[in-house]
Copies of this chain bind each other. A is one copy, B any other.
């Protein structure tokens, strides 16, 4: 019985009991404490377990942490983009804020705007705007997605159809150089498209890293948007296209 055999068993015990102790494992496998420590160190390195004094526990909230980290990614860029976007949203208007960390940043910047009617399908945004003393916040219904607090599904789409917005603020997973907006999640694409059809103007908030990525589902083309907010000049050909389409490109520094 060696490392390779013990580690899956250790994981099984951990998942069953929620925790493991160095001492019990040593007794269970008939090896020394030091050997178990080495196993646990490897499992912790691989993020299978979380090491604590005297043993190990299951890693805490693996799902949410991913979103948390995504939120911190490019944080200063996102904030600058959000500020620029917020400046283009007049007080008193009706706005939709979609799922996403970028739109969440916009929500924070909108806290000072007066008399907005904000509709969102993002629980995090709703929580942020709950602090806002004036205006109205409306939450679309939907299935709560634990990973990112998004509300998705037919209920969400049906609710959105009942409104007409001045401005829709959406994010995306990736942008193609031909101006197409892409997303990883088909379910979300349906929501984004519905939002755009229900809005007079569409704003995209996306940091420049989205240009270096790709995703399978197509939301729409920049052609149908009024403005794009980002933090680096868009590739040359696309800039010309946007001009042709009458889509403003606002680049923050």
Report A's interface with B, CB cutoff 8 A: 1-5, 8, 18-19, 50-55, 57, 60-63, 123, 126-127, 129-133, 136-144, 146, 149, 151, 155-156, 158-159, 162
Contact = CB atoms under 8 A, between A and B. Distances in A.
A92 B22 CA distance: 37
18 contacts: A2-B54, A4-B50, A4-B54, A5-B55, A8-B57, A61-B131, A62-B127, A123-B130, A127-B127, A130-B146, A130-B149, A136-B144, A141-B141, A141-B156, A141-B159, A155-B162, A158-B159, A159-B159
Contacts of A155: 138, 140-141, 159, 162
A139 B129 contact: no
Copies in the complex: 2
DSSP majority for the A interface?
mixed
Contact of A142 (B8, B61, B131, B138): B138
Contact of A4 (B4, B5, B57, B132): B57
Given A2-B52, A53-B2, A138 B143 contact: yes
Contacts of A142: 138-139, 141
Which of A132, A139, A146 neighbours the largest number of chain B CB atoms within 10 Å of its CB? A139
A72 to B, nearest CB: 15
